[in-house]
Amino acid sequence: MSDSKDNLVMEKLVSLCKRRGFIFQSSEIYGGINGFWDYGPLGAELKRNVKELWWNTMTRQRDDVAGLEATIIMSPEIWKASGHVATFSDPMIDCKTCKGRFRADHVGEISCPQKPSKMVAECHGEKTEPRAFNLMFQTFVGPVQDESSVAYLRPETAQAIFAQFKNVLETSRQKVPFGIAQVGKAFRNEVTPRNYIFRSREFEQMELEFFIKPDEVVEAICGQVAVPLPGATLTDPQPDWGWAAWHQYWVQERVRFYEGIGLSRETLGFHVQTPAELAHYARACTDILFKFPFSKRDENGELKGEELEGIAARSDFDLSQHARFSGKPMGVFDEELRAAWGKLAKDRQDDIWKRYYENRKGYLEKSGVAFEAASRQATEDANGLAKGQYIPHVIEPSAGVDRLILALLANAYSEATDTDAKGKSESRVVLKFHPRVAPIKVGVMPLLKNKPELVAKALAVRDLLRPWMNVFYDDAGSIGRRYARQDEAGTPFCVTVDFDTLGEKPELKDTVTIRHRDGGRQERLALGDLLSWILPQIR
Ligand code: ATP
């Protein structure tokens, strides 16, 4: 259990987020709606930055990933194929005394939705047996509301990627290995939304499905499958990588991403799923954790962390399911494989064929296909290798935008103490966001607002920077108060236009004061150098 000091941090953070316009309760004027949150002016900027950084890193900066933006409501068949209709549920229990409804595995740690850090005194009344509660929100498409018009709000963005796999492959001219990335809303009717925006009912995901060759195909083409040393740093994808190397690479890439936006290694943790925790089709899953103030502590008093992102090696399960349910082929043709297969010795072919056959048969049988039919289909699939055909496997790094926002806020939160001339101390909040994610990059201020020359020059500085970044112009109140306001919003730099900027000291003409949020250090910079000084720090 987290201790009261940790809870206090959450309480302060929640109140700051409301006061400064990061996050509001949805529908607040009507008393709110549990599990839904709105992002205010600063929150909307922060969120936009996070999504853009992810998108840039995962798609634009790479040759091997293409983007997708699919609809939220899709054919309900997709959710049958993915298994969500049958199994996407949590165990729910009711309390016969207080009539409360809880997730069976969360009882004992229920938090109050209004005050996310407060634990609600839990009723000890008799509970019902747990029963499965499907988390998908249902709706109806069209005017008739019956079984045939049922549809679902997507509970994850990933399935649209699988459903559009062939279209993206054909139009993007990509070849396996390659990925498809998507950012978008997801909806889960969580039994107990909790911990502020950590677990909500409407949230956003940033998901990549990275399609790779099955190990048997890599072996046929390269003669071997590279086995990564545990912990070895992987930065440069190689043709002989199998799923284990690709999985290790993506875990590390994602950690590099988090470090690049200010979450240091020490704030992160890992949970490697045990075979018992893994889905039957998954080969591995590593969760990247962030040590939130509400995270539980281990026996040494260290915060354990909660899931920010899961990176799963999902075999060829998803594409195979959609192939079976839609009747459309999801395999690819790989000329390299076809050519390599012909050059393999017969015993090598037989060996690879057999392993591929066993894997395919294993999947089909676990998916409920009868023995005979599974053997027939697996034979057909393994025969496809000689023709250069296979169903790609996939590595899935799946991150939550809102959880990341909360991690960034918790990570940035700090307090500074100012002491005035009379020795009176006052504590105030400084949000130490990495400049890349900070909602406002630069606060621009004239030293005095009643001096038109200063104001005109400061407005010119604002206009110089504005096409490139989010700038906030502020001329209200003392300069110290203006700096403090920007510190609280997490703005990394303030630019002040003073009389020296106007040429009072001729040698300082057209220079400005840069004031750093962290530490309050000030330096002077020529206006002509300002943009090239700021840009590399915020990108
Ligand atoms: P959890 O075990 O915490 O419920 P999960 O394993 O079901 O999460 P995934 O289905 O793997 O989550 O979803 C991928 C990511 O989406 C998670 O790592 C998380 O960041 C985010 N996410 C999932 N559910 C929620 C939610 N209810 N609210 C906010 N973010 C969520």
Domains and CATH numbers, the chain: 4-85+139-331+391-405 (3.30.930.10), 440-538 (3.40.50.800)
Residues β-bridged to residue 419:
425
CA 259 to chain centroid, in Å, comes to 14
Of ligand 1's listed atoms, the one at least distance from the Cα of 205 is 16
Identify the residue whose C-alpha is closest to ligand 1 atom 13.
398
CA distance 241 to 103: 41
CB 430 within 8 A of CB 487: yes
**pLDDT of res. 2:** 52
What percentage of the chain carries pLDDT values higher than 70?
96
**How much is the average pLDDT of 467-480?**
97
Contacts of 42 (CB under 8 A, 6+ apart): 20, 21, 22, 439, 440, 489, 490
Identify the residue whose C-alpha is closest to ligand 1 atom 16.
400
Q: Which two tokens stand for residue 441?
A: 């990059």
Phi, psi (rounded to 5 degrees) for 538: -105, 0
CA angle 278, 84, 184 (to 5 degrees): 95
Backbone φ/ψ region at 196: left (φ over 0), alpha (ψ -120 to 50), beta: left
pLDDT band at 265 (very low <50, low <70, confident <90, very high): very high
CA distance 206 to 503: 49
**pLDDT of res. 114:** 42
SS3 of 421, please? coil
**pLDDT of res. 284:** 97
pLDDT digits (tens, 9 = 90+) for 173-186: 999 999 999 999 99
Q: Which two tokens stand for residue 321?
A: 């399911």
Q: Say how many Å lie between the CA of residue 358 and the centre of ligand 1.
A: 32
Q: Which residues line ligand 1 (CB under 6 A)?
A: 156, 188, 190, 199-200, 203, 205, 307-310, 398-400, 402-403
Query: Is the model more confident about 382 or about 419?
Result: 382
Contacts of 539 (CB under 8 A, 6+ apart): 436
Lowest-confidence region among 48-52, 423-427, 439-443, 453-457? 423-427
